[in-house]
């Protein structure tokens, strides 16, 4: 019996020695495959990192262009306001001197009205027709002498103050807009004098976009961007007027061909 056990042990030991190189070979193959997989994963990650870098650069370039456009528009608004202020100050000075020489300041007031009308016509499309109609009424009454220069100056000054207020005001309003050649009453979110977003009763959202010498209303078809506009309206309905918002074309840009 003892010799048989020794034979069995010898046989098992021999089989193990024979199998060892095979196991070692399989282990090496698995390790090589694992290393190759890790290398491929690393290369894939590097590729994604490079792609993300390019996307980031493109986004930053877009943001810088939008910022430049916004600053240019703000500068135009500030310049227009400065000119209006100077014109109205001249009118006030002339009104004061009129007590001595009875000089008519009506022409000065009319020039101030025309300049203010030009600023409104070139600004974002917020109740433009109503605001311009009010100025036209004052101008007509001044021209036909049914409105005194003193009263006219007061009304023009009030219109100027209203213009200043609107450049800072953020809120929700309702006004007619034209989409696809059809006019409809929509809710609009006005962000000062920089941007105007809209939401129609049929659940379409978008923003006012400068086009040539005027503006057109662009419907946002990208679902993610549309949801950003919806989030803005929801925040304004909750009286949230400060904070960070991500918006499509947050600035009103001139269309570039």
Q: How much is the pLDDT for 256?
A: 46
- pLDDT tens-digit series, residues 171-185: 899 999 999 888 989
Confidence of residue 5 (pLDDT cuts 50, 70, 90): very low
Q: How much is the pLDDT for 57?
A: 74
Phi and psi angles of residue 212, each rounded to the nearest 5 degrees, phi first: 70, -125
Encoding tokens for residue 20? Answer: 């060892």
Q: How much is the pLDDT for 153?
A: 87
Of 62-66, 116-120, 121-125, the poorest mean pLDDT is in: 62-66
| pLDDT score of 239 more than 60 | yes
Helix (H) or strand (E) holding 216: strand 214-219
| pLDDT score of 70 more than 80 | no
Distance (Å) of CA 100 to CA 79, 97, 110, 166 = 33, 6, 22, 36
Spell out the domain ranges in the chain.
Answer: 73-168, 171-237
- pLDDT tens-digit series, residues 164-222: 888 888 889 999 999 988 898 999 998 888 889 999 998 899 999 887 778 889 999 98
Q: How much is the pLDDT for 24?
A: 52
Q: How much is the pLDDT for 219?
A: 92
Query: If you average pLDDT over residues 27-33, what whole number do you get?
Result: 68
Cβ–Cβ under 8 Å, residues 190 and 233 = no
| pLDDT score of 14 more than 80 | no
Q: Compute the distance between CA of residue 242 and CA of residue 244 in angstroms, rounded to an integer.
A: 7
């Amino acid at each position: 019996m003892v010799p048989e056990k020794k034979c069995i042990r010898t046989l098992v030991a021999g089989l193990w020695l024979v199998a060892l190189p095979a196991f070692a070979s399989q282990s090496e193959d698995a390790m090589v495959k694992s290393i190759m997989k890790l290398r491929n994963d690393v290369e894939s990650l590097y590729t994604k990192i490079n792609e993300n870098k390019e996307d980031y650069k493109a986004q930053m370039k877009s943001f810088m262009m939008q910022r430049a456009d916004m600053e240019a528009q703000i500068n135009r608004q500030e310049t227009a306001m400065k000119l209006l202020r100077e014109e109205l100050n001249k009118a006030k000075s002339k009104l004061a001197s009129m007590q001595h020489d009875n000089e008519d300041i009506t022409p000065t007031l009319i020039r101030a009205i025309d300049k203010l009308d030009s600023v409104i016509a070139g600004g974002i499309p917020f109740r433009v027709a109503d605001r311009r109609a009010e100025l036209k009424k004052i101008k007509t009454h001044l021209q036909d002498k049914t409105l005194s220069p003193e009263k006219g100056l007061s009304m023009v000054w009030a219109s100027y103050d209203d213009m200043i207020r609107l450049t800072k005001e953020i809120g929700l309003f309702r006004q007619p807009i034209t989409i696809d050649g059809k006019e409809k009453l929509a809710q609009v979110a006005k962000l000062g004098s920089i941007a105007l977003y809209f939401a129609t009763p049929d659940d379409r959202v978008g923003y006012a976009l400068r086009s040539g010498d005027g503006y057109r209303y662009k419907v946002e078809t990208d679902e993610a961007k549309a949801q950003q506009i919806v989030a803005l309206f929801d925040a304004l309905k909750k009286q949230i007027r400060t904070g960070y918002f991500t918006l499509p074309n947050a600035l009103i840009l001139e269309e570039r061909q």
